[in-house]
Amino acid sequence: MAAVAFDTLTFARTLRDKAKFLPGQAEALADAVAEVLRGDHATKADLRAELAETRAEIVRWVAGLIGFQTLAIIGAVVAFA
C-alpha cells in the first residue's frame, strides 16, 4: 500500500480554526489520522502468513506428542510382558 502525503499541521490548524477544536484535541486527531494513513498495520497477507506458520508449528507438536505417546505405550506393554 502506497503511503499518502498528509500535512498534520494544516489539518490540526483547520480543526482548531474552523471546527473550534482545542489545540490538544486537534493535534491528537491529526496524529491519529496520520498513523492510519501511514499503513503500519498488519495486512491480510501478514496475518495469513503468521497463521500458516502457527498451524505448521501445531502440526509438528501434535506429531511429536503422538510419537512420544506411542513409544510410552509400547514401553509399558514391553514392561508388563
Q: What is the pLDDT of residues 26-66, one digit of tens each?
A: 999 999 998 888 877 778 888 999 999 999 999 999 999 99
How far is C-alpha 7 from the chain's CA centre? 27
What pLDDT is recorded for position 2?
59
Instruction: Write the CB contacts of 13 (distance below 8 Å, at least 6 apart in sequence).
Output: 26
The better pLDDT of the pair 77, 35 is held by 77
Q: Say whether pLDDT at 1 is over 60.
A: no
39 and 3 in contact (C-beta within 8 Å)?
Answer: yes
What pLDDT is recorded for position 13?
94
Interior/surface letters 23-42, b for 16+ CB within 10 angstroms, e for the rest: eeebbebbeeeeeeeeeeee
What pLDDT is recorded for position 39?
74
Binned at pLDDT 50, 70 and 90, residue 3 comes out as: low
